[in-house]
């Protein structure tokens, strides 16, 4: 009976959740990144070792790198993309030399994950991350003022967005703008001017172009990863549908088949994120896990609740629309066949109890994730005993 490796995302020394806190959760592995290193620059071995030693001093293991950010020049295959690919290869080699076996990354253009509220109050009184199409349209059409933005929304959404924009105070509009462009904790915030400039780079890049750019990138780095004994795990688009006029290419089983078959290298694999993929009603997550199989190198487990318009909030880990029992069972069957533990982490968590009065990284407060980890561990043990 092989249990999944229990890990915890930690954003480094400035994370409000300390390594001592993590140690008390029962997690044994840490998922971390060097967020202070600018996108595209080389992760030097001494910097990696410094972070690794800090983690090991707390009697934990740095199990997964999440993430080495892919520079925008690589995604657009323009400018200095060749240089940045070579530097990415060097970072892979340096991570491997420090004994960290998995690197997660994403290929989302411009923005990382996108939400419209970081403190949506659910029925329990806890707070969750939330995505609302009307609020995104308010940002896109009236704050960002992206050229052609109205074409991305139906008439009903546009009308609601116009009314909501008029009702919002300047403070509310500023807050919405900050949330949509939030990005990763610990990294530099961008402005609307920055975002518009980045969006312009994708004016002539469609879905097929972006797929080709990803394929080229993977054809360059996957052999290096395989040679070094490192597994690559691409994270799905979050949310898994086009936003802000940008294409999405890691959102469905069709996308994963393209990625895994186009560069059919065992080092080229998937970070199976049930929250990101579950935001699309088109995805059958248990079936997808079964089809991807042993090419799943890392797992994010969380749940979401959608409405008829496609808005969603992040629900309890065992609640929401995703059948976590069926998903977990399929993942455990894959793991037994694989014969080695697959690391997973409780992805995101509600801000609840004492954390409601603390400054926390959105989605990454301690108590909500601790609840999720406990629930997922219990579900895992129950399924394994029943197999």
Query: Which candidate in 153, 348, 350, 355 is catalytic?
Result: 348
- Note the pLDDT of residue 139: 97
CA 20, 271, 69: angle at the middle one, nearest 5?
A: 75
- Catalytic: which of 273, 297, 317, 350? 273
Please confirm, yes or no, whether 235 is among the known catalytic residues.
yes
- For 294-316, write each residue's pLDDT tens digit: 999 999 999 999 999 999 999 99
Catalytic residue, chosen from 300, 317, 350, 355, is 300
Strands 29-32 and 117-121, bridge-based pairing: unpaired
What SS3 state is found at 88? helix
Is 350 a known active-site residue?
no
Domain ranges of the chain: 5-115+207-386, 127-195
Identify the active-site residue in 140, 238, 255, 347.
347
Per annotation, catalytic residue among 15, 98, 202, 235: 235
CATH number for domain 5-115+207-386, candidates 3.20.20.150, 1.10.150.120, 1.25.40.20, 3.40.1440.10? 3.20.20.150
**Which regions of the chain does DSSP assign to beta strands (E)?**
5-9, 29-32, 61-66, 102-105, 117-121, 127-131, 231-234, 268-273, 296-301, 303-306, 312-315, 343-346
Tell me if residue 84 is catalytic: no
364 is catalytic: yes
pLDDT of amino acid 36:
93
pLDDT tens digits along 170-197: 999 999 999 999 877 666 778 899 999 9
Judge whether 347 counts as a catalytic residue.
yes
Residue 112, pLDDT score: 86
Give the CA-trace dihedral at 65, 67, 68, 72, to 10 degrees.
170
pLDDT in tens, the chain (387 residues): 888 999 999 999 999 999 999 999 999 999 999 999 999 999 999 999 999 999 999 999 999 999 999 999 999 999 999 999 999 999 999 999 999 999 999 999 998 899 999 999 999 999 999 999 999 999 999 999 999 999 999 999 999 999 999 999 999 999 999 999 987 766 677 889 999 999 999 999 999 999 999 999 999 999 999 999 999 999 999 999 999 999 999 999 999 999 999 999 999 999 999 999 999 999 999 999 999 999 999 999 999 999 999 999 999 999 999 999 999 999 999 999 999 999 999 999 999 999 999 999 999 999 999 999 999 999 999 999 998
Please tell me what DSSP assigns to residue 241.
Answer: S
């Amino acid at each position: 009976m092989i249990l999944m490796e229990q890990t915890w995302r930690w954003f480094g020394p400035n994370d409000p959740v300390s390594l001592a806190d993590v140690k008390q959760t029962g997690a044994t592995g840490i998922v971390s990144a060097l967020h202070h290193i600018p996108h595209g620059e080389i992760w030097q071995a001494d910097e990696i070792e410094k972070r690794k030693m800090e983690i090991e001093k707390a009697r934990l293991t740095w199990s997964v790198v999440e993430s080495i950010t892919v520079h925008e020049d690589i995604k657009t295959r323009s400018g200095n993309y060749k240089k940045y690919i070579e530097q990415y290869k060097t970072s892979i080699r340096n991570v491997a030399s420090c004994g960290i076996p998995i690197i997660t990354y994403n290929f989302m253009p411009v923005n990382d994950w996108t939400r419209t509220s970081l403190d949506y109050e659910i029925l329990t009184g806890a707070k969750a991350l939330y995505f609302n199409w009307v609020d995104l349209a308010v940002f896109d059409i009236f704050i960002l003022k992206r050229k052609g933005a109205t074409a991305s929304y139906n008439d009903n959404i546009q009308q609601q967005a116009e009314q909501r924009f008029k009702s919002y105070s300047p403070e509310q509009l500023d807050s919405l703008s900050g949330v949509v462009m939030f990005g990763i904790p610990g990294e530099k915030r961008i402005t609307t001017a920055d975002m518009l400039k980045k969006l312009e780079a994708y004016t002539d890049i469609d879905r097929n172009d972006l797929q080709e750019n990803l394929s080229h990138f993977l054809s360059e780095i996957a052999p290096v990863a395989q040679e070094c004994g490192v597994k690559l795990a691409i994270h799905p688009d979050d949310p898994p549908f086009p936003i802000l006029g940008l294409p999405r290419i890691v959102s469905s089983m069709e996308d994963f088949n393209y990625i895994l078959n186009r560069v059919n290298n065992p080092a080229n694999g998937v970070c199976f994120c049930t929250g990101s993929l579950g935001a699309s009603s088109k995805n059958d997550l248990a079936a997808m896990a079964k089809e991807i199989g042993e090419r799943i190198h890392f797992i994010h487990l969380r749940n979401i609740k959608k409405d008829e318009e496609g808005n969603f909030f992040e629900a309890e880990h065992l609640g929401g629309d995703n059948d976590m029992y069926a998903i977990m069972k399929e993942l455990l069957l894959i793991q037994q066949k694989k014969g080695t533990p697959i690391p997973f982490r409780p992805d995101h968590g509600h801000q609840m109890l004492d954390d409601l009065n603390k400054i926390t990284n959105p989605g990454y407060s301690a108590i909500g994730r601790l609840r999720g980890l406990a629930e997922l561990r219990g579900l895992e043990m129950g399924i394994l005993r029943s197999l």
